[in-house]
């Protein structure tokens, strides 16, 4: 999209930077080789004069690179720089002779020196503008690559910010879903007139006080997630002591794997709500985290009533899948399979990353 703003002026390169000095030295050396065949004086004097001419051209190249600061739109700066290099060649050749000739000798009155001056000025006019144009091309090409890299970094940052915003939105959706489910469990006890309602309510308050702050954290570990699951299953066990058994186990290497908050808890909630609760005889929930190569696998296996439409289409599960996609892409997944003779196995697969805690 064109925003109507003028393009920023190219950033001038270093006036006498190492790369430019190197170009001057190499050009002077290459030009001196064919000229030395007919050169009667010292070769080093020839090379010195060529270097002086190159430095003078470099000075004017840098001068018109910076001045004047603004030019008419119809007059490109590169043309001014190339023209200045061409114009300075005869003057620079004359000055190089003036600086390298004894004061008591007028170099223009000596035929051999006048021929050398003409030759250097001619070679300078022939080679100088092309070297200047080559330097301009390299400078502009380098700036274009730097700008493209900067744009790519900026675009990546915008994409990352958008993903983070989406992840925070999904995370915010988890909180009311989690709280409503927990309060629903309390209401069931109160409606049933259970004598354990008061103690379970107290345990729930303590659990929520510890668990809710984690809902706002951007990331976590499998270890933190399993601590949350243990607290949740403790409360659920108080609610139905004769109908629920559970275990939580993990390999030491899996505990520090990065894990989005409430990921495992969502699977355990589903196991309680859609597996154990509807089963007359209750059941068992086993949670186990293992490390397999570069993947951390967290399995939640229950012996409840098994898969149903409500299990597969719940808000928590769809929310979890989207959060995993945003956080890890295709490297993370969750899969549910039926367990024989009854029950469900939910497996959460996470790439092993160091959690940003």
Answer for the pair 113, 85: CB distance below 8 angstroms, yes or no. Answer: no
Instruction: Give 212-247 as a DSSP string.
Output: HHHHT-S--BHHHHHHHHHHHHHHHHHHSTTTEEEE
- Beta pairing class for 344-351 and 295-302: antiparallel
Q: How many H-runs (helices) and E-runs (strands) does the chain carry?
A: 9, 5
The residue assigned the tokens 């390299």 is 138
Q: Look at residue 43 in the predicted model and tell me its pLDDT.
A: 92
CA proximity to 261, closest of 335, 301, 211, 299: 211
Q: Look at residue 4 in the predicted model and tell me its pLDDT.
A: 44
Task: Give the mean pLDDT per block of 10 residues along the chain (357 residues).
Answer: 48 81 92 88 92 93 88 87 93 93 85 91 92 90 89 86 70 64 72 72 73 70 88 82 92 90 88 88 94 93 82 74 86 90 92 64
Question: Which residues, 6 or more positions from 203, have their beta carbon under 8 angstroms from its beta carbon?
Answer: 234, 235, 238
Instruction: Give 88-154 as a DSSP string.
Output: HHHHHHHHHHHHHS-TTS-GGGSHHHHHHHHHHHHHHHHHHHHHHHHHHHHHHHHHHHHHHHHHHHH
Residues paired with residue 335 on neighbouring β-strands, in sequence order:
347
Instruction: Kindly list the strands in the beta sheet with 344-351, ordered across the sheet, starting from the edge strand earlier in the chain.
Output: 244-250, 283-292, 295-302, 344-351, 333-338
Q: How far apart are CA 259 and CA 233, in angstroms?
A: 19
Neighbours of 319 (CB within 10 A): 17
Tally the residues of the chain: 357
Q: Look at residue 357 in the predicted model and tell me its pLDDT.
A: 44
The token pair at 100 is 């390298």
Q: How far apart are CA 256 and CA 229, in angstroms?
A: 16
The token pair at 13 is 């390169």
Answer for the pair 215, 167: CB distance below 8 angstroms, yes or no. Answer: no
Phi-psi region of 250 (alpha: psi -120 to 50; beta: other; left: phi over 0): beta
Question: Which residues, 6 or more positions from 44, have their beta carbon under 8 angstroms from its beta carbon?
Answer: none
For residue 294, the 8-state DSSP code is: T
- Three-state SS at 344: strand
Neighbours of 158 (CB within 10 A): 10
Q: Look at residue 234 in the predicted model and tell me its pLDDT.
A: 84
């Amino acid at each position: 999209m064109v925003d109507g703003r003028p393009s920023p002026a190219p950033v001038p390169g270093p006036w006498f930077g190492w790369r430019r000095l190197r170009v001057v030295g190499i050009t002077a050396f290459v030009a001196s080789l064919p000229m030395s065949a007919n050169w009667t004086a010292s070769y080093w004097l020839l090379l010195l004069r060529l270097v002086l001419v190159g430095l003078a051209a470099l000075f004017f190249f840098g001068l018109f690179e910076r001045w004047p600061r603004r030019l008419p739109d119809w007059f490109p700066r590169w043309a001014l720089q190339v023209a200045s290099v061409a114009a300075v060649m005869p003057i620079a050749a004359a000055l190089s002779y003036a600086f390298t000739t004894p004061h008591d000798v007028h170099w223009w009155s000596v035929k051999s020196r006048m021929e050398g001056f003409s030759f250097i000025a001619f070679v300078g006019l022939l080679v100088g503008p092309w070297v200047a144009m080559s330097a301009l091309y390299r400078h502009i090409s380098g700036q274009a690559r730097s700008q493209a890299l900067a744009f790519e970094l900026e675009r990546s940052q915008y994409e990352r910010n958008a993903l983070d915003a989406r992840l925070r939105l999904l995370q915010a959706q988890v909180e009311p879903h989690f709280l409503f489910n927990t309060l629903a469990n309390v209401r069931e006890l109160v409606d049933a007139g259970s004598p354990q309602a008061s103690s379970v309510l107290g345990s729930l308050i303590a659990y929520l006080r510890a668990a809710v702050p984690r809902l706002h954290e951007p990331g976590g570990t499998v270890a933190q997630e399993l601590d949350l699951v243990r607290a949740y299953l403790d409360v659920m066990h108080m609610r139905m002591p004769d109908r629920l058994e559970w275990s939580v186990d993990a390999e030491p290497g899996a505990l520090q794997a990065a894990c989005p908050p409430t990921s495992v808890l969502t699977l355990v909630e589903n196991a309680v709500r859609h597996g154990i609760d509807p089963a007359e005889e209750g059941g068992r929930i086993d949670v186990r985290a293992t490390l397999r190569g570069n993947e951390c696998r967290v399995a939640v296996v229950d012996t409840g009533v098994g898969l149903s439409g409500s299990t597969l289409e719940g808000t928590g599960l769809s929310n979890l899948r989207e959060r995993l996609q945003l956080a890890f892409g295709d490297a993370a997944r969750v899969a549910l399979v039926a367990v024989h003779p009854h029950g469900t196995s939910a497996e959460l697969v996470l790439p092993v990353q160091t959690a940003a805690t």
